[in-house]
Structure 1
Amino acid sequence: MTNAVLTTDERAPVVKKKEKVYVTTLKRLLKNKLAAIGIIIILLQIGMAIFAPIIATHDPIKQDLISSELPMFSEGHWLGTDNYGRDVWSRIVHGARISLLVGITAVSLGLIGGVTLGLLGGYYKKLDGIIMRVVDLLFSFPGILLAMLIIAVLGTSLVNVAIAISIWSIPTCARIVRGSVLSIKQKEYIMAMKSLGASDLRIMIRHILPNAFAPIIVFATMRMGTAILSTASLSYLGLGAQPPTPEWGAMIAQGQDYMWTSPHLTIVPGIAIMLTVFAFNVVGDGLRDALDPNMEIQ
């Protein structure tokens, strides 16, 4: 009996099949009009964050008391200025960089912790009880209160905000991954890998984790919106960004005293937060539908 060796031509259909899965998922996602709008908003936000020094028309923290509280569409300040004469547009643009950076950091750290606990708990029955009790303990605290407690211990800063939100994200991620692992590890190909002597680490990393990737991606996308909203909330309460940092939540807190005379100081950063959270949520919903194998393109 000769060993069968796949030629280049024989391997091609496998590659094409994988590529077809990605293309099909993208088509399903873009077919969702709300998700498509969300993607455009997210791309614009990323562009603002990357090119903030170029897009911003003024130094976001430079004060000009002579030009304070200018209304929207003023000459040289199309979104007006705040009570210190700082350009609102420039602060919004630089605020996008801060919000996305904190959100990505928080979600990434939360994924590392949640995926690790979920994999171990779902794969090892002996560890499952201990890990799930720790997760249940974290679930017993309301998310924002848990974040406030962590910041009270660590101190007020954007770094500590990212850490607090990541810890808040761990239990939800761990439960999602654990549920997927419990289902996947019963599959025949996992049993076959065990019988062939594959190590537990190899099975978890090479075979279980990739098949649990879809719910993780959906969770991460939707959690980005929550992380950005939480960052703004904590900064509004004075637990995150400190003056004069151009962060959206802090801008709302600083502008609320001028709501009647200069409403744009709170409305503009509020709209920025709303659009960003909306975008990540609808893209997350779209991904959930697009990654569903039962969905078909009409």
Structure 2
Amino acid sequence: MTTAETLKLKPKKREKYYITTLKRLFKNKLAVIGLIIVILQILIAIFAPYITIHDPIKQNLANSEMPVFSEGHWLGTDNYGRDVWSRIVYGARISLVVGSVAVTLGLVGGIILGMLAGYYRKMDAVIMRFVDLLFSFPGILLAMLIIAILGTSLVNVAIAISIWSIPTCARIVRGSVLSIKEKEYIMAMRSMGASDLRIMVRHILPNASAPIIVFATMRMATAILSTAALSYLGLGAQPPTPEWGAMISQGQDFMWSSPHLTIVPGIAIMLTVFAFNVLGDGLRDALDPNMDLQQ
């Protein structure tokens, strides 16, 4: 069943369709694990002040490099005596916020360009050549170039990653628009005198939502990983900001004496990226209209 057909269903049948989609998602054990991890990360980020007892940036050199499971510091402390657990928790907040902002901005730009390119044939060539130009740069190098121009900060990291996300999103949306705009109900709306803007926003965009949702979920993993990578290189979060990539960069000099300074934030990055990736895979399968035919 296509998204267009779903929107035409009566409320009860539409609700049944959504319940069926959720059941498909929950049948995927990896996707459920990913969803649980994502929810936990969000809760940890929201309630960070309530689940930590130490200031993530307050230094206490008398307690520097305490090992894991030390009294009062169950994940130990770094070389400045800062509590690692507090820095990991507040780092989750930074990663999720920067990733969400980057993906949202990338979606807005990609959806606008993709809708215009797919709906207006005359604009297609110009927009897609611009998209191809962005694709010609390796993603991380494009982000580094943008940050080099704008300056090093988490705000600029979010902007750089969002620009990196635009071309992929634009191509996904364009492909959906090209197939949807030829449907009978779209032609019927045109014949009834509906404006192009109304058709695109009220009828085409909702029908292209499934691939956009999947892209946004999986792009969160890329955004979080890219934020960590840029901060590791010194182009993102600056000391003493508790960001996971920056924590790995600061802890690598103490790898032999205090390996937890790099291992703990590394595990946090790995789990978060894994969670968003498997959740995106699960959503792709659950929203696939061909799943009914395969089962």
TM-score band, normalised by shorter chain? over 0.9
Query: For 1:84 and 1:244, how far apart are their aligned partners in 2?
Result: 10
Query: For 1:21 and 1:223, how far apart are their aligned partners in 2?
Result: 26
Residues 182-226 of structure 1: per-residue CA shift (max 9 Å, x gap): 000111111111111111001101110000000000000000000
Residues 215-263 of structure 1: per-residue CA shift (max 9 Å, x gap): 0000000000000000000000000000000000000000000000000
Q: Percent identity?
A: 83
Query: For 1:158 and 1:70, how far apart are their aligned partners in 2?
Result: 29
- Partner of residue 6, structure 2: none
Using the TM superposition, give the Cα deviation of residue 136 of structure 1 relative to its aligned residue in structure 2, in angstroms. Answer: 0.3
- Partner of residue 63, structure 1: 59
- Partner of residue 96, structure 1: 92
Indicate whether 1:24 and 2:41 are aligned: no
Indicate whether 1:195 and 2:191 are aligned: yes
Which of 44, 55, 58 is the aligned partner of 1:48?
44
- Partner of residue 9, structure 1: none
Using the TM superposition, give the Cα deviation of residue 20 of structure 1 relative to its aligned residue in structure 2, in angstroms. Answer: 1.3
Using the TM superposition, give the Cα deviation of residue 34 of structure 1 relative to its aligned residue in structure 2, in angstroms. Answer: 0.1
- Partner of residue 225, structure 1: 221
More displaced stretch, 26-35 vs 13-22: 13-22
TM-score, normalised via structure 1 length: 0.95
- Partner of residue 106, structure 1: 102
Query: For 1:20 and 1:273, how far apart are their aligned partners in 2?
Result: 36
SS for the counterpart of 1:209 is helix
Query: For 1:169 and 1:36, how far apart are their aligned partners in 2?
Result: 26
Using the TM superposition, give the Cα deviation of residue 57 of structure 1 relative to its aligned residue in structure 2, in angstroms. Answer: 2.1
SS for the counterpart of 2:291 is coil
Which of 172, 175, 186 is the aligned partner of 1:176?
172
Using the TM superposition, give the Cα deviation of residue 287 of structure 1 relative to its aligned residue in structure 2, in angstroms. Answer: 0.3
Using the TM superposition, give the Cα deviation of residue 286 of structure 1 relative to its aligned residue in structure 2, in angstroms. Answer: 0.3
Bigger radius of gyration: 1
Moved over 6 A (4+): none
- Partner of residue 145, structure 1: 141
Residues 137-166 of structure 1: per-residue CA shift (max 9 Å, x gap): 000000000000000000000000000000
Indicate whether 1:74 and 2:74 are aligned: no
* Superposition pairs of residues 2-21 of structure 1, within 5 angstroms: 14-21=10-17
Alignment gaps of 5+ in structure 2: 1-8
Question: What one-letter code is carried by the residue in structure 1 that aligns with 2:136?
Answer: S
Question: What one-letter code is carried by the residue in structure 1 that aligns with 2:126?
Answer: I
Which of 224, 227, 234 is the aligned partner of 1:238?
234
- Partner of residue 4, structure 2: none
Query: For 1:153 and 1:21, how far apart are their aligned partners in 2?
Result: 48
Indicate whether 1:205 and 2:198 are aligned: no
Q: How many residues align?
A: 286
Which of 131, 142, 146 is the aligned partner of 2:127?
131
Q: Tell me how large the CA RMSD over aligned residues is.
A: 0.9
Indicate whether 1:285 and 2:277 are aligned: no
Alignment gaps of 5+ in structure 1: 1-12
Question: What one-letter code is carried by the residue in structure 1 that aligns with 2:25?
Answer: L
Using the TM superposition, give the Cα deviation of residue 293 of structure 1 relative to its aligned residue in structure 2, in angstroms. Answer: 1.4
Query: For 1:96 and 1:281, how far apart are their aligned partners in 2?
Result: 17
TM-score, normalised via structure 2 length: 0.96
SS for the counterpart of 1:260 is coil
Residues 61-81 of structure 1: per-residue CA shift (max 9 Å, x gap): 000000000000000000000
Which of 246, 252, 255 is the aligned partner of 1:250?
246
